[in-house]
Amino acid sequence: MNGHCPECGAPLEGKTECREYLNEMIKWDFEDFTGVGKIHHLTVLSYNLQHPNLYSSKGLQNAIESLTEYMQNPMDYTAHGTRDREKLASDIRDWKITGTAEDHGAYATKPEWKMLASDVVAGGLVHYVENVKKWSQSVLEVLQE
Ligand SMILES: [Zn+2]
């Protein structure tokens, strides 16, 4: 199927939905969890920020804060992932992360993304880690504009 992702605009060549790009990256993460998998949390965050409907409005806000903190201290992705998991553990959180029909994240104006999940997948596993870093950096830059 051709066409583009209605949310982020990624070309869907040979795919039915954008989520398949994320699934490919997640597969890489889990095949090499102590290697490229260290970047997993950042991959999911970048993907979700380009698909804000996945979040509740508060979840989206939280994700933006989380990515901003990452970029200020990019040395330890694993620690960030752990901290976010603890912070977001459902027993201490009284709001939903996941978007619903009534409450989902959205941007005031549709962002013009410079890099997409499809670009990262196209770069292949060899460039995966550096591309995810570039991707997340570009997501943050666009959101801060
Ligand atoms: Zn998409």
Q: How far apart are the first and last CA of the chain?
A: 33
Highest mean pLDDT among 37-41, 73-77, 89-93, 125-129: 125-129
95 Cα: distance to centroid of ligand 1 (angstroms): 25
117 Cα: distance to centroid of ligand 1 (angstroms): 7
Domain boundaries in the chain? 19-144
81 Cα: distance to centroid of ligand 1 (angstroms): 23
22, 40 contact by CB (below 8 A): no
pLDDT of res. 6: 93
pLDDT of res. 58: 93
33 Cα: distance to centroid of ligand 1 (angstroms): 24
Q: List, for residues 61-120, the tens digit of each pLDDT value.
A: 999 998 998 888 766 666 666 767 776 776 667 778 889 989 999 999 999 999 999 999
Determine the length of the chain.
145
Spatial separation of the C-alpha atoms in residues 45 and 130, rounded to whole Å: 15
Pick from 25, 49, 26: which is nearest to 123 by CA?
25
pLDDT of res. 94: 74
pTM of the model: 0.87
Start-end of H helices in 77-116? 77-87
114 Cα: distance to centroid of ligand 1 (angstroms): 13
Spatial separation of the C-alpha atoms in residues 40 and 12, rounded to whole Å: 22
92 Cα: distance to centroid of ligand 1 (angstroms): 31
96, 54 contact by CB (below 8 A): no
4 Cα: distance to centroid of ligand 1 (angstroms): 8
